[in-house]
Amino acid sequence: MKRVLVTGLGITSPLGADKAASFAAALEARSAVRPAPDDITARLPHVLLAPAAVEPDTLLDKKYGALDRAVQFALVAAQEALADAAIAAAPVDATRFGVFVGIGFGGAHTLDSLYTRYFEAVHTPTHARQNPTIMHPLSVPRMMSNAAAAAVSMRYGLRGPSNTYCVACASSAVAIGEAFRAIRHGYIDAAMVIGTEAMLTAGSLMAWNALRVMAKSDGANPQRSCRPFSLGRSGFVLGEGAAALVLESETRAIKRQAKVVAEMGGYGCSSDAEHLTTPTVHGQVAAMQQALDEARLGPQDVQYLNAHGTATDMGDVIETQSIRAVFGPFSDQLAVSSTKALHGHLIGAGGAMEFALSIMAMNSGSLPPTAHLDQPDPRCDLDFIPLHARHGCNVQAVMSNSFAFGGSNATLLARRYAP
């Protein structure tokens, strides 16, 4: 079994245009949550969202301007991660360098614009001469779920396997885990792994609103509306953006004298097999325990856990119970937080972003807080780092949870690298 190292990170998110800005905002508990635009609030007056801090097309060459927004985010994050890893395009071992992407709903903006154009042509008098069946010839390639993987592969000449995982909120955590396994077992030597999502469209928001899992707006301060593990929590806020990680075998990284960000420790993946939207303790426990076992670590060896923490009533309680079941007597020594209170729920991109933030927390010794947690739910009784970041911490290993509708659970574990 090969050791797998993280050698590059990239983030573009509601918190910042890059990884440094995103992590700084998370530590400072600066919320990116805000009311939705007028075209959405006209129908859904209380809907909130967490838009990206910067438009992705402003960070890319003009030739990428026509791509779907989710693909643009992926390219921006990959650009930063590869630069961070000091890897240029078209590496000599390109056939051993894969691209693994996690996304929840590919092409949401493209699809929304197609429907808008069609119905305007059919129903708007001023568009009477417009043929509603004439669409852009590249509409399908723009909205296919593997569009991001294809774009990154082509831009950087990466000729290894190009795989896309669509597992709802666990998508990019699964992508990272599967890339880790592919390198660990010798199928490839390196991978560009990306989580990306861009579904802040009217259609998507109306669909999510119908599930009744969206946070109700805090009348006094909308930025405080998403409150994981709080007594008054009411749900999550949708965000957008991307995060990317460069994974390499230890042999490859040493050969090119790469800077090592972290070592991949373990990956766990399980299915509840019970309910479409209600999580279970046994499924989450299985994923966390698998990650610990693969890393050959005990619960006492992990100092920080980035929780899935969606601020839903049942979800936060179940995750608290699951963490206690896995960490047992060491539960009260574990620092836990949910950064979704600040950047929203990035769905397919959430796992990668939260894992990247966890690795940055490990390396800096500064742990991001669970913002707005001034009234904890008594049923959520772990150390959730309320309100303010914690600095000067000795962190040797971190864990990140991603739990999805459909009953899919994924847990990632990273640790400090010791040659």
- Cβ 346 vs Cβ 197: under 8 Å: yes
Residue from 20, 10, 147 nearest 76 by CA = 10
E strand or H helix at 337:
strand 335-337
Q: Is 321 exposed, middle or buried (0-12, 13-18, 19+ CB in 10 A)?
A: middle
Contacts of residue 205, defined as CB under 8 A and 6 or more positions apart, other chains included, come to 36, 40, 44, 47, 49, 238
| Tokens, residue 169 | 């909120």
The tokens describing 219, both together, are 């009348």
DSSP state string for 12-50 = EBTTBSSHHHHHHHHHTT----EEPPHHHHTT-TT-EEE
Q: What distance in Å separates the CA atoms of residue 199 and residue 215, rounded to the nearest whole number?
A: 17
Based on the number of CB atoms within 10 Å of its own CB, is 5 exposed (0-12), middle (13-18) or buried (19 or more)? Answer: buried
Catalytic residues: 169, 308, 345
Question: Is the distance from CB of 24 to CB of 16 less than 8 angstroms?
Answer: yes
Which among 399, 386, 414 is positioned nearest to 284, based on CA atoms? 399
Write out the two tokens for 299.
């619960």
CB atoms within 10 A of CB 141: 17
Neighbours of 276 (CB within 10 A): 8
Q: 275, exposed or middle or buried, with CB in 10 Å at 0-12, 13-18, 19+?
A: exposed
Q: 312 by DSSP, 3-state: which?
A: coil
100-123 residues labelled b (16+ CB within 10 A) or e (exposed): bbbbbbbbbbbbbbbeebeeebee
